[in-house]
Amino acid sequence: MDLDAIQQRLREFATERDWDQYHSPKNLAMALAVEAAELMEIFQWVGAEESRKAIEHPDKVVQVGDEIADICIYAIRLCDIMGVDLDTAIYRKIDQNIEKYPPDAGRHWSF
Amino acid sequence: MDLDAIQQRLREFATERDWDQYHSPKNLAMALAVEAAELMEIFQWVGAEESRKAIEHPDKVVQVGDEIADICIYAIRLCDIMGVDLDTAIYRKIDQNIEKYPPDAGRHWSF
Amino acid sequence: MDLDAIQQRLREFATERDWDQYHSPKNLAMALAVEAAELMEIFQWVGAEESRKAIEHPDKVVQVGDEIADICIYAIRLCDIMGVDLDTAIYRKIDQNIEKYPPDAGRHWSF
Amino acid sequence: MDLDAIQQRLREFATERDWDQYHSPKNLAMALAVEAAELMEIFQWVGAEESRKAIEHPDKVVQVGDEIADICIYAIRLCDIMGVDLDTAIYRKIDQNIEKYPPDAGRHWSF
């Protein structure tokens, strides 16, 4: 994925519409959270196992892809505005997670 | 950004911890929304203009990067599980947005 | 507000539709978060000061009231299912907040 | 539940801390969504059926009550600021839902 190219297109998109004024970190974080809820809504009332069947329905795959794209567009735009290198941030976080949750700790979730 | 390599690492991370059982689309969407709220929390009580100053604080840039990484990790993992090509989804959505919001429509937000 | 009467109506509503099966704490929490995002969406692109003007627009007041009602309905339903006394929980939390944020601490938010 | 009394206490709480400046509808909606995510996080990785067992754990009941209280406090505060009568809004919404989802329509969720 060419992040520089995507950031460039998103920058042009905002400038051409005079929308840089709306793209503060606060507003972008809010917009991202709204899109995250729209993604979640797709799976709201089905069980976790049932949600795995979504992959068998091409229209659901497109719908999920659309919502994830919305989320990632705001994430990539926010990285541009905040000077965050997303690639570095992702690998740093993966390394932190490996340290935080050692494979042999066998952490499982229940009540 | 090498999406294939990141997806491969996330797949290994889940398998080594026996966490594939938790990574249903429903749960991943929920986890992503929780991380989106953590990103939003950083900017909760400041104004939109004040939020632009976050870039001047290196610790805030790291904190924002960490939260965006959490979000993107779940987004990339969900794409893997749902068979979504993220690159294609992002460009398709950008093209849809260009069509939906023509530059000369000058849409602005107020009450 | 007569919480008992509202809980009774919501219980009947679920039973008449055979929806108790969907009203697990997990699903209700998710549904509540989706409604919270819909409330937030109303104010997404306007500034904090501009959002105060919403009260001058009767249609916005109705829209905000509708979204808050959705949120509170899920909250009240979840209290019923989890055996939470909402009145007690709210006063306990207000008291905790008074202790946590003493009036003379003058905490203010900025970067 | 005495909404007037709660609104009065929340009003005093805000005034004593000089926090009315932060309590715009936009910020309150954002804060509510952050609390909704904290509620959701409790049930993030457990299945829907497993989440029903939370009621057997008194500490979980308290934790859920705390998060619901946070949500309702922001909801009640926002009603005060926006001039929304919460009681009326809830009953109007319940009536709308009865009309929208007739009992005999037997709507169920799956993929």
pLDDT of residue D81: 98
| Gap between the Cα atoms of C62 and C53, Å rounded | 14
Residues of C in contact with D17 (CB under 8 A): 101, 103, 105-107
pLDDT of residue C109: 80
The model's pLDDT over D48-87, given as tens digits with 9 standing for 90+, comes to 999 999 999 999 999 999 999 999 999 999 999 999 999 9
Mutate to test the interface with D, among C1, C87, C100 (most CBs of D within 10 A): C1
pLDDT of residue D71: 98
pLDDT band at D110 (very low <50, low <70, confident <90, very high): confident
Whether pLDDT at C107 is above 80: no
Helix/strand/coil (H, E, C) string of chain C? CCHHHHHHHHHHHHHHCCCHHHCCHHHHHHHHHHHHHHHHHHCCCCCHHHHHHHHHCHHHHHHHHHHHHHHHHHHHHHHHHHCCCHHHHHHHHHHHHHHHCCHHHCCCCCC
The model's pLDDT over C59-88, given as tens digits with 9 standing for 90+, comes to 999 999 999 999 999 999 999 999 999 999
- With CA atoms as reference, the chain B residue closest to D19 would be B45
Report chain D's mean pLDDT, rounded to a whole number.
95
Which ipTM did the prediction report? 0.96
Other CB atoms within 10 Å distance of the CB of residue C90: 22
Interchain proximity A36–B3, CB inside 8 Å: no
Q: Is A98 exposed, middle or buried (0-12, 13-18, 19+ CB in 10 A)?
A: middle
Q: Are the CB atoms for B66 and B58 separated by under 8 Å?
A: no
Whether pLDDT at A95 is above 80: yes
Instruction: Nearest by CB to D71, from C49, C55, C75: name it.
Output: C75
Instruction: Nearest by CB to C32, from D39, D81, D89: name it.
Output: D39
pLDDT band at A87 (very low <50, low <70, confident <90, very high): very high
pTM over 0.95: yes
Closest by CA to B87, choosing from A73, A86, A94, A40, is A73
- With CA atoms as reference, the chain B residue closest to C111 would be B54
What residues contact residue B16 under an 8 Å CB cut-off, 6+ apart? A103
pLDDT of residue D106: 61
Could you identify the residue written with the tokens 């969504």? D33
Interchain proximity A40–C33, CB inside 8 Å: yes
The model's pLDDT over C2-51, given as tens digits with 9 standing for 90+, comes to 999 999 999 999 999 999 999 999 999 999 999 999 999 999 999 999 99
Whether pLDDT at C110 is above 90: no
| Gap between the Cα atoms of D31 and D86, Å rounded | 18
The model's pLDDT over B19-59, given as tens digits with 9 standing for 90+, comes to 999 999 999 999 999 999 999 999 999 999 999 999 999 99
pLDDT of residue C43: 97
pLDDT of residue A6: 98
Whether pLDDT at B1 is above 70: yes
Whether pLDDT at A106 is above 70: no
pLDDT band at A107 (very low <50, low <70, confident <90, very high): confident
Closest by CA to D66, choosing from B15, A38, C84, is C84
pLDDT band at B107 (very low <50, low <70, confident <90, very high): confident
The model's pLDDT over D15-54, given as tens digits with 9 standing for 90+, comes to 999 999 999 999 999 999 999 999 999 999 999 999 999 9
pLDDT of residue D107: 72
pLDDT of residue C27: 98
- Closest approach of D45 to chain B, Cα-based (Å): 6
Write down the H helix ranges in chain A. Answer: 3-16, 25-42, 48-51, 58-82, 86-100
Whether pLDDT at B71 is above 90: yes
Question: Chains with 3 or more CB pairs closer than 8 angstroms to B?
Answer: A, C, D
- Closest approach of B34 to chain C, Cα-based (Å): 9
pLDDT of residue C108: 78
Instruction: Nearest by CB to C111, from B48, B60, B110: name it.
Output: B60
**Mean pLDDT score, A89-104:** 94
**Mean pLDDT score, A83-94:** 98
Q: Rounded to the nearest 5°, which phi and psi values hold at B45?
A: -105, 0
pLDDT of residue A110: 82
Interchain proximity A47–D48, CB inside 8 Å: yes
pLDDT of residue C106: 61
Whether pLDDT at C104 is above 80: no
Q: What residue type is D106 in one-letter code?
A: G
